[in-house]
Amino acid sequence: MQYNFDIIGITTVWDFFRHQQHVEQSPDRSCAYLGSYQCTLDGFIAATQTIQHKPAWDWDAIAAQMVNFWLQDGDRVSRWKIELQKAEETSLIVGRVANFSNLRNEFENLLGES
């Protein structure tokens, strides 16, 4: 399976919690969202442990994808760190892990419903 990791934004803890409650309902979902109080690689890797209903994905491969992101996209990471420092104290930085296989299935199902 192929995975992708990206930092997608900053939100309040409450909004992130509500979104997680909705997203985690599907075990076959294509994405998982990670929230961290710090814009650090360690913070996002630790956040994988807080997903209540973890999909049956290769989480070691996902951690490797996160490391690759940190190594290849240092400028983006630096910008997000600055944005998080400017945000409210009750804010989290949010990352998204995408499972390409599940994402492809979702898109195929959407096309089939048309």
pLDDT in tens, 16-74: 998 888 877 776 788 899 999 999 999 999 999 988 778 889 999 999 999 999 999 99
- In DSSP terms, 6 is beta-bridged to 96
Choice between 54 and 75, residue whose per-residue pLDDT is larger: 75
Signed CA dihedral, 9, 18, 12, 45: sign only: negative
Residue 101: predicted pLDDT: 79
* Total-model pTM: 0.86
Instruction: Look at residue 114 and tell me whether its pLDDT is greater than 70.
Output: no
Report the distance separating Cα 78 and Cα 73, nearest Å. Answer: 9
Residue 9: predicted pLDDT: 96
In 3D space, the residue among 25, 31, 23 whose CA is nearest the CA of residue 95 turns out to be 31
